[in-house]
Structure 1
Amino acid sequence: MQVRDKVVEIIAEQALMEPGDVRMDMTLADLGIDSLGLVESIFAIEEAFDISVPFNANDPADSEFDISSVRTMVAAVEKLVREQTDA
């Protein structure tokens, strides 16, 4: 399974949606994911890919992990996975 597909699957589960209904340009607000759902999504992403996401739940705007859309989250996870495999 590709990184994109797994991230979308995790986000869809939090949003109580089918993965096919999640568009890459959707925001967390579009998906109805609140801060608790976001944290749960990040934990699930970390577990699924065995990575550590640099996310500051107290100040998401100051995080290195871009949560502005599904697309940016996928890109951030892909980068973290790439960095881990390169290390």
Structure 2
Amino acid sequence: MADDVRDKVIRIMAEQAMLEPSDIEMTQTLDDLGIDSLGLVESIFAIEEEFDIQVPFNANEPQASEFDISSVAAIVGAVEGLVAAQKT
């Protein structure tokens, strides 16, 4: 499951950044990828739709959110947690 989640999140982030998924590294930040606040919101919506989850995210205060957006790896980890919680 983890690889599947990672691959899907990377694909979504790559689409927003207009990059190939192979160009995305887990250590990169949204700034590194050139994803602005609107792109972030669109990414969150795409993630929610892809995984049928609700992301606890406040677009007005992303740093205050429970959803860690500090790097691609953090986003993948947060999505994995939400997907696992949904299955219990």
Coarse TM-score class (shorter-chain normalised) = over 0.9
Matched, 1:84 2:76: no
Name the TM-score, length of structure 2 as normaliser: 0.96
**Residue 5 of structure 1 is aligned with which of 7, 21, 45?**
7
Q: Which amino acid aligns with 2:63?
A: A
RMSD: 0.8
Alpha-carbon distance in structure 2 between the residues aligned to 1:34 and 1:6: 20
Residues 24-53 of structure 1 show CA distances to partners (whole Å, capped at 9, x for unaligned) of 000000000000000000000000000000
CA-CA distance at 1:13 after TM superposition: 0.3
Name the TM-score, length of structure 1 as normaliser: 0.97
Matched, 1:75 2:68: no
**Residue 52 of structure 1 is aligned with which of 23, 32, 54?**
54
Residue in structure 2 matched with residue 35 of structure 1 by the alignment: 37
Alpha-carbon distance in structure 1 between the residues aligned to 2:64 and 2:15: 26
User: Where does structure 1 lack aligned partners over 5 or more consecutive residues?
Assistant: none
User: Where does structure 2 lack aligned partners over 5 or more consecutive residues?
Assistant: none
Q: How many residues align?
A: 86
Residue in structure 2 matched with residue 18 of structure 1 by the alignment: 20
Alpha-carbon distance in structure 1 between the residues aligned to 2:44 and 2:12: 9
